[in-house]
Structure formats: structure tokens, C-alpha cells
Amino acid sequence: GKPMATAPVFLLPLGDSFRSFEEGFRGQKWIDFTRDHAEIPVFAVCAYFALVFYVPGLLKDRSAFQLRQLFAAWNLLLSVFSLMGSVRTVPHLIYYLRRDGFKATVCRDPQEWYLDGPAGLWVGLFIFSKIPELLDTAFLVLQKKRVIFLHWFHHVTVMLYCWHAFHNKVAPGLWFASMNYLVHSVMYTYYFAMAARLSWLATPFAPMITSIQITQMAVGSYVTLTSAMEHLQGGAAACYVDAANYKLGFAMYASYFVLFSFLFYEKYFDRNSRSSQQKSEKICGVDIGSRGAVDTAGRFEDFSRGSASPSTSGNASPLWTASSIAQVVDGKKKTK
């Protein structure tokens, strides 16, 4: 039978015409586009670094923008998009995982099983969505919140890696897209709830979401390592991956795993890392204070009390500044 991912999307009434478009989709044109336009992610990174490191200086003499409602709408849009992507990619991956086994899903030529049809369309949308997702950082900058290393490192590396992986048609690509869609569908829903002043509902889920993210990084590391070992033992005939890509992929996932694991340990197990006055929930480097504020490592601020600058907001000091990791990546010592 056909993969489950060809079933209609039950979330939105997209209609038969969109379903026909999905089933008739062929991914090679989009892959060719990434090959012909390798300059696009480079330009995006240049513009992004200007946003992160130059624009804040231009805004130093003006007050922060009030963007709570717009930010809530943005996160709701991304959560719905991610949920729809999950519906189209996760069942497809599970179908082939059960039918053909794990090795096939990390080594088989993707042209044979996921680059076309509904799954192929949503993998392509996943790749290109990494560029508009950079707008997450624009909300921080416009609200005059400091963007720390973990935030921009994550956005830049994911975007560049995804473009490179799609360009090279790597076999485990569906794993990466499926996991990211699934995690983001939960994460952006959480962010929406926080921006919509529903912190009482959202904050209990912070430890769970951080745990899911750590699991994602562990699985991503294992997938890239497995494909690398198969490729090293049998070459391209044994595993359809690119040597440079699996090296980059493993380095990326492993670094995320270390960073997020340290964050989780620091918050929930290291009693000496925080004072009792600074207790809060954290997720993805985001520190949610007692008033629902979120530190400058993440995407939120204390919308309920107005948008204060990091220098004046008591809840705006990032928890990462208390860690040795932040001291290394920021290149300077910070006091607790």
C-alpha cells in the first residue's frame, strides 16, 4: 500500500486540488535550485550577522518595539506549519522504517522513497523555511534583547546544514526534517502560549520539551554516525550520503546535544547553579522568570510588564551567563 503520508491532511481543509499537487510533486527541481543558487544561504548569513551584530547599535537610542501580538501570531503560524509538516513526514518515515528497517532509512537513495510526493514537498518546504525562521532573531533585536551565542549559532548552522544536505540529496534527510517538524510543532506552540500570556499553562511543559530536544540531538547524532559508518565501510554504493555532510551533521548534532544536556542538568540537577530568587523554567536556552519573562537567550521578554531592555529588566539576565559554556563561547568571564 501507499505510505501513510499520502493520507489527507486532517488539520486544515486544503482540498483535493492541494492533495493532487502534493502527490504530483517532484523534488528534483527544488534540489537543482539549491545547487544553482548556493549564494542564497551565504547572503542570508551575511544579512543575519548584520542584524545580530550591527542593528542593535542603530537602535541604542530608541525605545524597544512593542511586538507581543505580532510575535504571538508569528509563533502560532510556525507551530501550525510545523504540525502540518509533521503530519506529512513522520508517518512516511515510520512506514518505511517498519517496512524496510533502520539502515534503509539512513542509507537508501532518497530519490527512491521520499524526494517526491507529499513527503518530498514538505521536506523541501522544511529546507527553505530555515531562512524565514531567521526572523525569530529580528523579534529579539527589535525589542532590544541581547542575542547570545547559542541562539544565533543554532539558527545559522541549521540553515546552512539543511541547504547543504538537500543540495547533496543525503539519505537521512527525512529523519532530520521529521524530527525538526515534530519538535518545533510543540516548541512554537509553547512560545505562542508564552507570548499570549498563558504562562500558567505553558511553563509546566518546559522540562518535557527540553528533554524532547535532547532526544532529538541524540537521535540525530546516531543517525549521522550510522550513515557515516556504512559509507566508510562500503562507499557510496552502501550508503547514499555525502562525506562532508555527515561530518558537518555529526558535529552539529553533537554540539547541540552537549549544550542542551548541560542546560538541562544546570536547571534541574545542579542546585548550586541558581539562587532561590532566580528559580525559573527553561527551554531551548530560554529562561522563564516568575512573571513569565524570558531571558535574552530566547525569544520572549516580559510582555506583561512592558518591554524593558536587558540592562533594566530584573528577569532578563540569561541563565547561560552562569555556566562555563557561556564563558567560553562569549569569550569572557561572567559572574554569577
Q: Is 154 designated active site?
A: yes
How many CB atoms lie under 10 A from the CB of residue 117? Answer: 21
Residue 36 CB burial class (10 angstroms; 0-12, 13-18, ≥19): exposed
- What is each CA distance from 143 to 30, 58, 60, 328, in whole angstroms? 35, 13, 11, 26
Neighbours of 19 (CB within 10 A): 15
Q: Using a CB cutoff of 8 Å and minimum separation of 24, what contacts does 262-269 make?
A: 262/323, 262/325, 263/210, 263/319, 263/320, 263/323, 264/207, 264/210, 264/211, 264/214, 266/319, 266/322, 266/323, 267/207, 267/210, 267/319, 268/207
Distance of CA 48 to the CA centre of its chain: 16
Q: Distance between alpha carbon 297 and the CA centroid of its chain, in Å?
A: 14
Tell me which residue of 199, 178, 191, 210 sits closest to 74, measured CA to CA.
191
Other Cβ atoms closer than 10 A to 331: 7
Cα 130 from chain centre: 8
How far from 162 is each of 5, 90, 127, 200, CA to CA, in Å? Answer: 22, 18, 6, 35
- Spatial distance between the Cα atoms of 323 and 336, rounded to a whole number of angstroms: 8
**Residue 87: all three cell numbers together:** 503530519
List the catalytic residue out of 92, 151, 154, 164: 154
The residues assigned a catalytic role are: 154
